[in-house]
Amino acid sequence: MPLPPALRASVTPPELELIACQQLTAFISGAYGPLRPPHRARIPLWMAVNLKQKKKCHILAPAWLTVEYLQEKLVHETTQAEFTKLPFRFAEISRVLLDVASDDLQNADKLRSLLKDLREARQAKARAGLESLEHSTLGLSNLSAMEINEIRPFFIKAMSVLGQLRPGV
Amino acid sequence: MDDDYFSIDAILAENQKVGCRFKVDIPDMGHLGGGGERDITRSNTIQLPIWMVYTVVLSDWADMIMPPAFGSKVRNALKAEPCSVRLSSLVGAGGLWYGFGKTIMEMLDKKQEMSDLLTTTFRKRLVEVIDQAQHFAALGPAGGVGPTGDSAQSFREGLDATERELFALAQEGSKRMKRWYEESDKARR
């Protein structure tokens, strides 16, 4: 059965979120199973989210999900020409954490706005990359999974058009 | 756009007529020009469909005249400001300007020049296409008239079919991202 056109070019954001949820994250367990509170344990994000919703644990935010770190990255992002190095699935993980465990994060609102600023700064760069598009190669390093997924459909199409407009192939 | 035999785009791109100036007399073929004359006479100009132009030009019976969609007037306009040229009106509604251009390019001796024209135009317009697509995605389903003004409107109307496809892809992608960022998934979990 053919997929609808919208799903052919790339996966959907919720699917990426699902993949990101397989990643290990740290949390402090509550009273649950063989995990002994208040010891820390590394478990997949989806499980942490589940436990968090049952109020059985606290989630320890990853080191990059702090105001200082993101602020530093934002400065870097707005002053340097290339993309800042961020965790590959930072968009998905930060959103899940902000959604279900905002009380475990310090200054969640500030984090939200910083992430939004980062995203906008990076989008502007991806747009600049569009201007120098080539038919064969594309150099946008440090792009995250969600951003790649967003630009994939039309970058692929545009590159194939450019390839076809070349003479004598 | 591609050369595939089954590609609908390739068929549509060739759905154009190109003027040819004949170098030889061809008796009893006057009906090709749609007129009442019986013969095609030397230095007559006749609009022929592209599939026939290949044969006629390669057999050296006629010279192809550059179609107005790629004539010097359009070239100059594109050189000045690619975004202000309405490509769709050059090739008719739903037409493929780039596809047509590629077809013409294959028949030319100076392929590089034509390729440069098409590539530069495409690249310069691409950014505007994507920008507008993302703007439209941000407007949401009710949107349609933004603070974009008349020039953006006429640019959108002037998109050729290839650019339209890109527009739709970019719009769909941005919409999905926006939905994902904005929805609260308390309900989903």
* Whether the predicted pLDDT of B6 surpasses 80: no
pLDDT at B118: 87
CA angle A149, A154, A157 (to 5 degrees): 125
pLDDT value at position B119? 87
Provide the pLDDT confidence category of residue B93 given band limits of 50, 70 and 90: low
User: Is residue A169 over pLDDT 60?
Assistant: no
H or E stretch at A127: helix A108-131
Query: Which CATH class for the A10-164 domain?
Result: mainly alpha
B130 with A53: Cβ contact below 8 A? no
Helices (DSSP H) in chain B: which residue ranges?
A: 8-13, 50-58, 72-80, 87-91, 97-107, 111-139, 149-157, 161-182
- CA neighbor of B3 nearest in space, from A138, A5, A168, A155: A168
Evaluate if residue A165 carries a pLDDT over 50.
yes
The angle, 0 to 180 degrees and rounded to 10, between the axes of the packed helices B97-107 and B161-182 is: 140
pTM confidence score: 0.78
Q: Report yes or no: B186 at the A interface, CB cutoff 8 Å.
A: yes
pLDDT band at B143; cut points 50, 70, 90: very low
* Extents of the domains making up chain B: 74-178
Tell me: pLDDT of B72 over 60.
Answer: yes
DSSP state of B83: G
Write down the mean pLDDT value for chain A.
78
Grade residue A31 by pLDDT with cuts at 50, 70 and 90. Answer: very low
CATH T-level fold of B74-178: Methane Monooxygenase Hydroxylase; Chain G, domain 1 (1.20.58)
Q: Which of B164, B181, B182, B186 to mutate: most A Cβ within 10 Å?
A: B181
Residue A156 CA neighbour count, 13 Å, CB half:
11
**Where on the phi/psi map is residue B92: left (φ > 0), alpha (ψ -120 to 50), or beta?**
left
Contact B176 A154 (CB under 8 A): no
The yes-or-no verdict on residue B155 having pLDDT over 60 is yes
Q: Is the pLDDT of residue B142 over 50?
A: no
Sign for the CA dihedral angle at A133, A136, A141, A147 comes to positive
A62: Cβ contacts below 8 Å, ≥ 6 apart = A25, A26, A87, A93
Distance between CA atoms of residues A53 and A101, nearest Å: 8
**Cross-chain Cβ contact A153/B114 below 8 Å:** no
Task: For residue A88, give the 3-state DSSP assignment.
Answer: coil
How large is the average pLDDT for residues B133-153?
A: 64
For A25, the 3-state DSSP assignment is strand
C-beta atoms of A164 and B176 within 8 A = no
Q: Minimal Cα distance from A50: which residue of B?
A: B189
State yes or no: pLDDT of A72 exceeds 60: yes
pLDDT at res. B19: 84
CB contact under 8 A, A154 and B189: no
Confidence of residue B45 (pLDDT cuts 50, 70, 90): confident
DSSP type of residue B2: -
pLDDT digits (tens, 9 = 90+) for A120-136: 888 888 887 777 777 77
Name every residue in A having a CB less than 8 A away from some CB of B: 6, 9-10, 12-14, 17, 49, 53, 95, 99-100, 127, 130-131, 133, 146, 150-154, 157-158, 160-162, 164-168
Closest CA to B119 of B93, B92, B101: B101
Minimum mean pLDDT range among A75-89, A96-110, B3-17, B94-108: B3-17
CA–CA–CA angle A100, A103, A107 (5° rounding):
115
The percent of residues in chain B predicted with pLDDT above 90, rounded, is 0
